[in-house]
Amino acid sequence: MKRMTYIVTPREEYFDPTELRFRANGVTLEAIHKVDILTDGTITVFLEVTGEVPAVRRSFDEDLPRLVDCEILDTDQTTMVQLRYHPTEFNRAILEPHRSYGVLVQYPMVFVDPAQSSLRVTVAGPSEDIQQLVAETRDLADLTVETVTEYDHTASRQVHELTTRQREVLLTAYECGYYEVPREATYADIAAELDCSASSVGQTLRRSESRLVTVTVSNQTGARTET
């Protein structure tokens, strides 16, 4: 079983025209936490975004006949948007290959360049199925393969338990040398790279570390129980 990560970019610079409305209102798409085609043909998607909640709402103020439902969840950490809508022909076509092969998407899918909707996608499954998925996707959009490895479900779960923001802060801390021995960076150093406060960095890192430890320990406990 293989694990592949690739970047997919729609040639029109959006997967769905609604993304243009987000941009016009200053809302940045950060990640897709779930997307699915329902039995009635509509699509449901759970998005992580950055932007003011009123700006998110303005993106749907005008009449949108394809939109069935919209829910916004705003917390201290993230703003999430759940949409259910009737897809465009391209939007449906780009998702259909995921239903045709034995390939699992590892969420979240992260927007690496929101300005043109470039999306980093990680999938796992039989090598032949992944190759077919990539081939069909390349017929519809630009796709660049980043990595191909053997699938490790434990490592995948640990990383994907974190939010997009938590992964960003954790990666920046690592690159700054925060986890070197002896430590080469402070919260203030990391905050300077991220343009945020040192207290925010500390809070985010503590939550990330707590989550990673919890997942790691639960994995080990489960392994001992099975043996």
Which of 168, 176, 120 minimizes the C-alpha distance to 7?
Answer: 120
Q: Are 122 and 3 in contact (CB under 8 A)?
A: yes
pLDDT of residue 161: 66
Which of 88, 85, 78 minimizes the C-alpha distance to 42?
Answer: 85
Confidence at 225, pLDDT banded by 50, 70, 90? very low
Tell me the CA distances in angstroms from 183 to 26, 48, 177, 187, one per residue in order.
Answer: 37, 32, 6, 11
> What 3-state DSSP class applies to 42?
coil
Phi and psi at 173, nearest 5°, equal -60, -40
Tens of pLDDT, residues 155-196: 555 666 677 788 889 989 999 999 988 889 999 999 999 999
pLDDT at 220 over 60: no
pLDDT at 82 over 90: yes
- 142-154: average pLDDT: 83
More confident residue, 203 or 218: 203
pLDDT at 227 over 50: no
Q: Are 190 and 176 in contact (CB under 8 A)?
A: yes
Give percent of the chain above pLDDT 70: 89
- 13-31: average pLDDT: 92
Kind of pairing between the strands at 79-85 and 43-50:
antiparallel
- 117-131: average pLDDT: 93
Q: Are 20 and 14 in contact (CB under 8 A)?
A: yes
Confidence at 223, pLDDT banded by 50, 70, 90? very low
Amino acid at 77: Q
- 55-76: average pLDDT: 86
- Backbone angle region of 41, left / alpha / beta, with phi > 0 → left and psi within -120 to 50 → alpha: left
Question: What is the reported pTM?
Answer: 0.70
